[in-house]
Amino acid sequence: MTRGRPVAGHRLLCPCVAFGLILAAACAPPDRPIQLLPSATAALAAPDTARSLRVSEGLRYRFLWMHEGPWAIHLLEIDLGRCELGLSVLRGAASPSTGPGLARVSEMVERAGPSVLAAVNGDFFTPEGWPLGTDISAGSVRRARARPALAWAPGGDPWIGSAEVDEDTVHVGRAVAVGAPPVELEVIGGFPELLDDGGPLADNEDVARSSFATTRHPRTAVAFDADARVMWMIVVDGRQGSYSSGMTLAELTEVLLALGADEAINMDGGGSSVMVIGRRPTSRPSDAEGERRVANALAVTHDRGRCGS
């Protein structure tokens, strides 16, 4: 993972198109005419339906719907420059008899308390509730795996890359010793990495050709722009007929590039995909039963104590 800017041509829309949802007069024209942009990207510039809600200072929710997909896109825009906003890994309810356990994201948010403003589902997981990748919450290591991950600590930028495990140490932009006293660090796994240094990863060819990537599914992803210190959590509803069909990984990546992301990681999707604001889902999970029980979630939290004196 590097901190450079996107390669030429990847900035498809200027920020006021992606965020303002209209072509403001002060916004420079896109690199290419709108009609030549990928349709998934154009959904940001000219959605058929658009709604916006300020959740708190520095945290905004946007809903976009476009009949051409059809796509229903849920976006959380997080200003990481605000010291009171941060990330937290939430976990399913563990049981001594059944293991790590699963829970709905809304249940995890409820249990975590009022400091949690919003959350999305996290990593892929086993039937017993073990996440497939690294899982660290408040510095406590539950799982250390050599898979893609997102890491965050107060006062710093998120890190997205491939976690490395060396005996009792996991490397996620910093070294964390398993069993050591907890540090202020949150790490959650996902798969695959979608963006690095502002461009799609070149080493995902096998993944890119798989049905997992080329079939439209509900999707969840996390991305950020290192220079602007803005993070996005995105959920695309899917498997719901004329309402929303979901996206391929390529379509999802185009949307993240259009937002201006440098780094991005795909989270668990399908029936697991959900975005919760407050205590209730704002997206539409695809399972007939509603929210699926999952192993962990990534939450946006509010804590004035992070700001110091």
Percent of the chain with pLDDT over 70: 85
Residue 24 forms part of a structural domain: yes
The mean pLDDT value of the chain amounts to 86
Neighbours of 168 (CB within 10 A): 12
pTM for the complete prediction?
Answer: 0.88
Give the span between the Cα atoms of 272 and 117, in whole angstroms: 19
Give the span between the Cα atoms of 268 and 221, in whole angstroms: 8
pLDDT digits (tens, 9 = 90+) for 52-98: 999 999 999 999 999 999 999 999 999 999 999 999 999 998 766 55
pLDDT digits (tens, 9 = 90+) for 27-36: 333 333 333 4
Which domain, by its residues, includes 125? Answer: 85-188+295-307
- Angle made by CA atoms 145, 102, 99, in degrees to the nearest 5: 70
| Angstrom distances, CA of residue 217 to CA of 19, 28, 134 | 24, 33, 24
Residue 4 forms part of a structural domain: no
One domain, residues 237 and 203: yes
Judge whether residue 20 has pLDDT over 80. Answer: no
Residue 290 forms part of a structural domain: no
What local confidence, expressed as pLDDT, does residue 57 receive? 97
What local confidence, expressed as pLDDT, does residue 93 receive? 81
Give the span between the Cα atoms of 142 and 144, in whole angstroms: 7
One domain, residues 55 and 99: no
pLDDT digits (tens, 9 = 90+) for 190-249: 999 999 999 887 556 678 789 999 999 999 999 999 999 999 999 999 999 999 999 999
What local confidence, expressed as pLDDT, does residue 32 receive? 32
83 in helix, strand or coil? coil
One domain, residues 175 and 101: yes
One domain, residues 90 and 168: yes
One domain, residues 175 and 205: no
Residue 132 forms part of a structural domain: yes
Q: Are 250 and 210 in contact (CB under 8 A)?
A: no
Residue 288 forms part of a structural domain: no
Total domains in the chain come to 2
Q: Which of 276, 269, 240 is nearest to 76 (CA)?
A: 276
One domain, residues 302 and 246: no
Tokens representing residue 192 in the block: 């695959």
One domain, residues 261 and 112: no
Residue 223 forms part of a structural domain: yes
Tokens representing residue 194 in the block: 């979608």
One domain, residues 90 and 184: yes
